[in-house]
Structure 1
Amino acid sequence: MHDFKFALNTSTLFPFELDVIEQIRVAAEAGYDGIELWVKDIESYLKEGGSLKTIKEFLSDRNISVVNAITFFKWSDADESTRVKGLVEAEQEMLLLKEIGCKAVAAPPSGNMDDLELEIIAEHFTALTTIAKRMDMEVYLEFWGKANKLATLSEAMYVAMESGLSDVKFLLDPFHMYTGGSYFTSLSYLNQRNIGIFHVNDYPENPTKEQITDSERLFPGDGVAPTEEIANYLEEMNYQGYLSLELFIENYSNRSALEVATHGLKKMKQTYLPNK
């Protein structure tokens, strides 16, 4: 029996240019359990005179949680000064996120890692995790399908094993598994403790995985991703965490933000909870 919770990654709402408060309002009204906020949007809201207290109260009033945050500090980089600066930024952003009740942040390959060995990246991830644990935060190791390094689930698993940490969690995404050439069967090597959050999306048969861009992601069920197979793997490992809709569609025609969010939740439940 599938027992997932549902979140909205606010990249899905980018075309509507909403501030953080409006993003939260839309996600809550559409019926999501959680939301993934982008740090850049939080910072923009604060620059416009908003407060972290207002965000936290708005979340509480609408009974929705910030389950993860998206940001791009360079926690691993071939240039040591860049990496150190990235760790300082990471600590500052985690402090900000704690103020609104968020306890996790994504750690994608956003630095210049091309010439780094995976063992070195693992050391860098351990350093980042040490900072996070000191602050009672989690970091979710993310791979990007089109990155030159840390592009596949197997690379991410290797980094996790070489980190010396016993509790690394991954941010998984079907689009990145597809574009990077990861086998979906590799999900069978994971258990529910290994997944911090699972992004949900789909993709068309064309363009090819080499040519496709983020903006061509589709709602789940509208493309050729093996969604039923993915859902079954998650069920077999007893994953009960969040599925988070992450799209980068640039134009939803005449749909409103609320209509897009509502449609997205409906598609997620149709494809990941087919028998409910």
Structure 2
Amino acid sequence: MPHIIKAVKGSPARALSVCGITTRYLSFEEDVRVCSEAGMNGISLWWDKIKACGAVQGAKVLRDTPLAAVSMVGLPCMLTAGTQQNRQVFDLLRGALDDCATLGVGVMGVVPGNHEGRTREQQDEATIDVLVRLGEEARQRGVTLALEPVHEPYLDYLNTLVDAERIVTAVDSTSVGILFDVWHLCHEPELDRRIEETASRIALVHFSDWREPTRYHDDRLLPGEGVLPLKSILTKLHQSGYRGFFDVEVFSEEVWHADPLQNLKKCRAFFDSVWAGET
């Protein structure tokens, strides 16, 4: 029986948040302001921005807003080429979990990284080992780890929802779920069926739109401005039982240099249109 990943505390049934990379050139304090002004339900924290302002100060900033602290993302990959480096990364991620606890963040996104010379079996074993240990640290702090599959060519390991489900099933912890990034998973075969099979394990959803043709990684579009059937994907996630936040994550120089408040208002309008007429 799969573990059920609970919605972030305080999240309505269909809640919209924005990841701090979508507003890359704003500070965390500025992120909070524009997210509030745009009518977002929550905010996902980009790790570099939290390092810049500090978790204690970040918590004070959030305290005066209605925004939920949804997730922390943008952290280093869990696995590197060397054992000593892996220990250092683990300590760093454990420290990030401390920051999550200070900030009231419910989910922390994690990515395994590349094979770095390991076989798939060795990489699976190493990934499971880290997630078991880090998952216990997360449990103690009331945080859920969300394992993100990233499609090729950006990483050479854990590229599909099937891969993520295999690892999360092996870890078998209520503190370890899946980060479903629509941009990375949109071309997966039989996506609707995959969503139905994994919805109970999904801890967070990232979404943006797809430019056709896509030129490079940081070439994404605001929701509703590309070719993806986003309404179909988002409603399928909801119908399959997902009750966490839908988090806008856009990597794009064009978006980053446009007016951030107007960008977020467009995201709000698109998201509301997805559920128009539904109860």
Q: Which TM-score applies when normalising by structure 1?
A: 0.85
Contact 2:139 2:175 in 1 (8 A): no
> Aligned to 2:207, which of 200, 212, 219?
200
Q: Which runs of 5+ in 1 are unaligned?
A: 47-51
1:80 aligns with 2:83: yes
Cα 1:176–1:113 change in 2 (3 A) is: farther
Whole-Å Cα distance in 1 between the matches of residues 33 and 113 of structure 2?
Answer: 30
238-247 vs 129-138, which moves further:
129-138
101-110 vs 19-28, which moves further:
101-110
Residue 229 (structure 1) shift:
2.6
**SS of equivalent residue, structure 1 residue 171:** strand
Q: Name the structure 2 match of 1:21.
A: 29
Q: Name the structure 2 match of 1:54.
A: 57
Whole-Å Cα distance in 1 between the matches of residues 59 and 175 of structure 2?
Answer: 28
Contact 1:109 1:144 in 2 (8 A): no
1:12 aligns with 2:56: no
Cα 1:53–1:206 change in 2 (3 A) is: same
Whole-Å Cα distance in 2 between the matches of residues 132 and 97 of structure 1?
Answer: 9
Q: Name the structure 2 match of 1:68.
A: 71
Whole-Å Cα distance in 1 between the matches of residues 56 and 221 of structure 2?
Answer: 35
Q: Name the structure 1 match of 2:5.
A: none
**SS of equivalent residue, structure 1 residue 190:** helix
Q: Name the structure 1 match of 2:159.
A: 151
Q: Name the structure 2 match of 1:49.
A: none
Contact 1:152 1:182 in 2 (8 A): no
Q: Name the structure 1 match of 2:221.
A: 218
Q: Which TM-score applies when normalising by structure 2?
A: 0.85
2:31 is aligned with what amino acid? Answer: Q
Cα 1:249–1:74 change in 2 (3 A) is: closer
Q: Deviations over 1:51-97 (max 9, x none)?
A: x4432232121111211001323423443222211110011111122
Cα 1:262–1:57 change in 2 (3 A) is: same
Cα 1:119–1:274 change in 2 (3 A) is: farther
Aligned pair count reads 261
Q: Percent identity?
A: 20
Q: How does 1:80-229 map to 2 (within 5 A)?
A: 80-110=83-113, 112=115, 115-116=118-119, 117=121, 118-146=124-152, 147-165=155-173, 168-178=176-186, 181=188, 183-185=190-192, 186-191=194-199, 193-207=200-214, 212-229=215-232
Q: Which runs of 5+ in 2 are unaligned?
A: 1-11
**SS of equivalent residue, structure 1 residue 159:** helix
